[in-house]
A and B are shown apart, each in its own frame.
Chain A
Amino acid sequence: MQAEVPGFQLDFFQLFGLPASYRLNNALLDQHYHILQEQVHPDRFSHLSEVERRVSMQWATRVNEAYQTLSDPTKRARYLLFLHGVDIQEECNTAMPADFLMEQMEWREAIEEARQVGDAAELDKLESRLLHEIHGLEAQLAARIDDLQDYAAAAGDVRKLKFLEKLVEEIASAFDALDS
């Protein structure tokens, strides 16, 4: 359906009029997002023909997808690597470094323990430590993609980020469990 729409051959960076890099001007991204939605959003076309309403929904959907991808650092990295033809092998490549996997186990245990005893302060602490770690990886990704063009190493970072994001989700669900 989407491939048939002209204009959809632009990649997300081109669509947003931004350079295809990992480091991104977030304010400009938001600004361009709003400018694009102002043009294509279904609210602009609700009184027009069925065809125009349909084209508007396809475009607004596309712009939202692009914004979601570009505004999220991990998704943005994954997308950039895809544009460079690098397969991250997220589904099949489970050969992560042993020490990284060990760390994951420790994280998981710590979160589970905090959940069991209902320690919100501990969960908070774990979350900020985790975010710190994520930010470190993101800085490394920026260097590897934008400065060194070392896409193979960057793919490894993206795989690691996926693990860490799972942990963030686990902390969120632990908070949810605390509430109920």
Chain B
Amino acid sequence: MALLQISEPGLSTAPHKHRLAVGIDLGTTNSLVATVRNGISVVLNDENGRALLPSVVRYLADGSVRVGDVAQAVQSEDPANTISSVKRFMGRGLSDIGGINGLPYRFVDAPGMVQLRTVAGVKSPVEVSAEILKVLRARAEDMLGGGLVGAVITVPAYFDDAQRQATKDAARLAGLNVLRLLNEPTAAAIAYGLDNAAEGVYAVYDLGGGTFDISILKLSRGVFEVLATNGDSALGGDDFDHRIYCWLLEKNNLSALGASDSRLLLTRARAAKEELTEHAETRLTANLRSGEAIDTVLTRQDFHAMSQNLVAHTLQPMRRALRDARLKVEDIKGVVMVGGATRMPQVQRAVAEFFGQTPLTNLDPDKVVALGAAIQANVLAGNRSGDDWLLLDVIPLSLGIETMGGLTEKIIPRNSTIPTARAQEFTTFKDGQTAMSIHVVQGERELVGDCRSLAKFELRGIPPMVAGAARIRITFQVDADGLLNVTARESVSGVEATVTVKPSYGLSDAEITRMLQDSSQHARDDMQLRALREQQVDAGQLLEAVENALAQDGADLLDQAGQTRIRGSMDELRAVLQTDDHHAIKRAITQLNDATVVFAQARMDKSVSRALGGRKLTDLEV
């Protein structure tokens, strides 16, 4: 932390007030929480000193939930109610999930996202993920001794909109204020880059339990700029386990195993994989339900042979990312390895061969993502230190809409820096057409059927006109979380219609509220109290922010009437804050926000012109 606090836009005038914020790596296999303490990013351990929380959730008949090691320990005894690797199901339909037959769960096909039937009822992957996040949130609040201002949750860079939306929903369900969804390789780059004062172009190779990402970043003077990203959101360490599992079945002539035997052998397969990182061979033993005993030796050589094409599978996204960044292998200064699966020697060798250099492994590949997320969370919460940096990230997959003949028209190309917006004009093709259906998709393929369908909606109320006369402007806005918002507007002869959609895989606010109620013992009271507390926190932050803004720029940018108007709205908010009417507080917050729009724009205008104005002077001196 800087010793000297200089007041500038966006900086709290109360430097002593440290806002508690965390970074959470919500992983396929394990999850972690980290925070910045005394200027250093640290992973928070549980009471037994363990950093990694296995991403395993067990539902019991009485409705209670077990998360982590306790759930993992009984996985093969209660496979159907003990959910692991739920990240693979986030924002995914039943048909999207490969290898479903090998999984011991009772899947329920549901529109948008698959669900799982447990003894405690049908659960969405969002709810299962929220259980993991709740444990990490409680761990952080216990250890830090207070409520969290918010959290940065990491997602694979190659996650599409539906998967991102599902992750954000899970965090909200866990009662976390999401400061940002951050791409995992980018989080790793922050941790690595700041730790090593790295400059130049780096590749981050992130092979996790269930996802693979490759990101190419340019690091220069405190700027982390993602040039390109690529990957496979259904490839990870789990697939290596599965190869060993299949080999075991074949080797021992096993077929049609029950769910618990399957789970047992998968657990053994994972242990064998980890063993082979250090040893040339390993022994797999297990006692099956039938009484049959398994005792098989697997050599590293055989393991490498059976997993060779999985490793090769990661090379194609690497070539694509380099091509998108318009770079050659020689341009890469260093390769940062992230994710537990990068410990496998065959992975390290393949990456070293591809880039012609030894990959960097001086950071713990399990922890680096959470550490980077915590550093970003600290900044986003408003605990700015002297050494600021800028993060410029991209969207991984192109966004577009369906046009005639089932073809995709790209509106925002992949690897566009976010936030970004793009508008495109369309028209009617029939005389008197008064409605138009809009199908939003994500992906690189030409045919709509090969891309991911994100949302379908209708724009109605177009005035009847001859074909081709209507002007329908469709605007795609992608925010800093990489989430999409689509607006359609018809504007001819003064008639306008606007529709804003949220991707269909996401949950509506009503659904989130219902889930929150379901998960609460004293549903109504709890919800009221929670809403009140949230509004009070929001109001406090807003008042502080506006007070600071007025102190800095009020006299400069506003006339007396303008200042009085804002002060008036602030007084009103302070007054209702004394009551426990959360609706009234919310109204007063909205009113104060509205009153500050012009002021906020003027402030931004001022800081932009001042920034380049100052720069031009220094340029003249050079």
Contacts and interface: CB of A to CB of B under 8 A. Distances in A.
B396 to A, nearest CB: 15
Contacts of B616: 17
Interface stretch (B134-142, B281-289, B354-362, B538-546): B538-546
A107 interface: no
A60 B480 contact: yes
Interface stretch (A49-57, A135-143, A144-152): A49-57
A46 B593 contact: no
A42 B419 contact: yes
Interface in B6-21: 9-10, 12, 19
B254 interface: no
A36 B608 contact: yes
Contacts of A56: 604
Interface stretch (A76-84, A93-101, A172-180): A172-180
Interface residues of A, number: 45
Interface size class on chain B is: 35 or more
A36 B601 contact: no
A39 B611 contact: yes
A153 B612 CA distance: 34
B611 A43 contact: no
B295 to A, nearest CB: 40
Nearest to B597: A51
A105 interface: no
Residue in A2, A65, A67 whose Cβ sees the most chain B Cβ within 10 Å: A65
Contacts of A180: 316
A99 to B, nearest CB: 29
A44 interface: yes
A32 B223 CA distance: 12
B194 to A, nearest CB: 15
B327 interface: no
A28 B620 CA distance: 13
A164 to B, nearest CB: 16
B612 A59 contact: no
A47 interface: yes
B320 interface: yes
Identify whether the interface residues of A are mostly helix, strand, loop, or mixed. Answer: helix
A15 B103 CA distance: 55
B381 interface: yes
B382 interface: yes
B180 A17 contact: no
A65 B420 contact: yes
A61 B420 contact: yes
A16 B316 CA distance: 37
Nearest to B178: A46
Contacts of B250: none
Interface string A19-52: 0000000001001101111111111111111111
Contacts of A59: 604, 608
Interface in B563-622: 592-594, 596-597, 600-605, 607-609, 611-612, 615-616, 619
B91 to A, nearest CB: 23
A7 interface: yes
A55 B10 CA distance: 13
A64 interface: yes
Given A46-B380, A49-B542, A57-B480, A172 B323 contact: yes
11 contacts: A36-B611, A41-B392, A42-B419, A47-B382, A47-B545, A51-B593, A52-B549, A55-B604, A60-B419, A68-B416, A175-B323
Interface of B: 9-10, 12, 19, 149-150, 179-180, 221, 223, 316, 319-320, 323, 376, 379-382, 388, 390-392, 416-421, 475, 477, 479-480, 541-542, 545-546, 549, 592-594, 596-597, 600-605, 607-609, 611-612, 615-616, 619
User: Would you list the 9 A-B pairs with minimal beta carbon distance, nearest first?
Assistant: A47-B382, A42-B480, A7-B605, A46-B380, A17-B612, A179-B316, A48-B545, A61-B419, A51-B600
Given A7-B609, A50-B542, 13 more contacts: A17-B612, A32-B615, A34-B221, A36-B608, A38-B388, A38-B390, A42-B419, A43-B390, A44-B10, A49-B541, A50-B593, A60-B419, A64-B418
